[in-house]
Amino acid sequence: MRLLPIPLSLLGLLATGCGSLQSSDNFLGVITPYRVEVVQGNVLTKEQLAMVKPGQSRAQVRDYLGSPLLTDTFHADRWDYVFTIQRQGAQPQQRAVVVLFDNDKLKSIDAPADLPGERDFVASIDTVKNSGKPRPLSLTPEQMKALPAPAPAEPAASAPEGPQRSYPPLEART
């Protein structure tokens, strides 16, 4: 088998084309590559932090905020709640909340000032742009009447009496 020589200009064109595919978000404006959504850590909102008060036990804090993402054996009185999300069509987000304890009682919480509320967080990761009006979850009575009537159920076929075999039994009869 004889290999044909490939012109260097063709190799350069192919290499350039492959490089441009990796750096762009779509190919010819038609194909958008799938990007994995990466969610790590605990979503903490203003409403959750409002329920946590100094003096509460570790168990109470864990009930309200969930298990911390990071705990350190050398800093047993510190819990780190870290959250990151990368979702296609939405801005990446990263937040860190540090909870400090003193004698197993909550001492302080260090949270970012821009911590969102629940509705704000959901709106920030919502990539589906809707018209603003809620979608109906059930049919109206008029729509129910417009549905076609279900087909009548056919009677179940009766099973034949006794076993029907076309092969010899596995065990010998005595």
Every domain of the chain and the residues it spans: 33-126
Confidence at residue 63, expressed as pLDDT on a 0 to 100 scale: 93
Please determine, for residue 158, whether its predicted confidence score (pLDDT) is greater than 90.
no
Percentage of the chain exceeding pLDDT 90: 28
Structure-model confidence comparison of residues 11 and 139, the more confident one = 139
Residues counted in the chain = 174
Strand, coil or helix: 61:
helix
User: Which pTM was predicted?
Assistant: 0.54
Please determine, for residue 35, whether its predicted confidence score (pLDDT) is greater than 90.
no
Please determine, for residue 20, whether its predicted confidence score (pLDDT) is greater than 50.
no
What is the distance between the alpha carbons of residues 120 and 88, in angstroms, rounded to a whole number? 18
86-95: long-range contacts (C-beta < 8 A, 24 or more apart)? 86/35, 86/37, 86/38, 87/37, 87/39, 87/125, 87/127, 88/34, 88/35, 88/37, 88/127, 89/127, 90/124, 90/125, 90/126, 90/127, 91/124, 93/124, 93/125, 95/44
Helices (H), the chain: 8-23, 46-51, 58-65, 118-125, 141-146
Q: Which CATH number is 33-126 given? A: 3.30.1450
Confidence at residue 1, expressed as pLDDT on a 0 to 100 scale: 55
Of 92, 147, 150, the C-alpha closest to 124 is: 92
Region for residue 4 given its phi and psi (left: phi exceeds 0; alpha: psi -120 to 50; beta: otherwise): beta
pLDDT digits (tens, 9 = 90+) for 108-129: 999 998 888 888 888 888 777 6
What average pLDDT does this structure show over 17-21?
48
Structure-model confidence comparison of residues 140 and 35, the more confident one = 140
pLDDT interval class at 151 (50, 70, 90): confident
What is the distance between the alpha carbons of residues 139 and 87, in angstroms, rounded to a whole number? 33
Structure-model confidence comparison of residues 70 and 106, the more confident one = 106
What is the distance between the alpha carbons of residues 167 and 79, in angstroms, rounded to a whole number? 69
What average pLDDT does this structure show over 93-108?
92
pLDDT interval class at 21 (50, 70, 90): very low
Question: What amino acid is encoded at 155 in this protein?
Answer: P
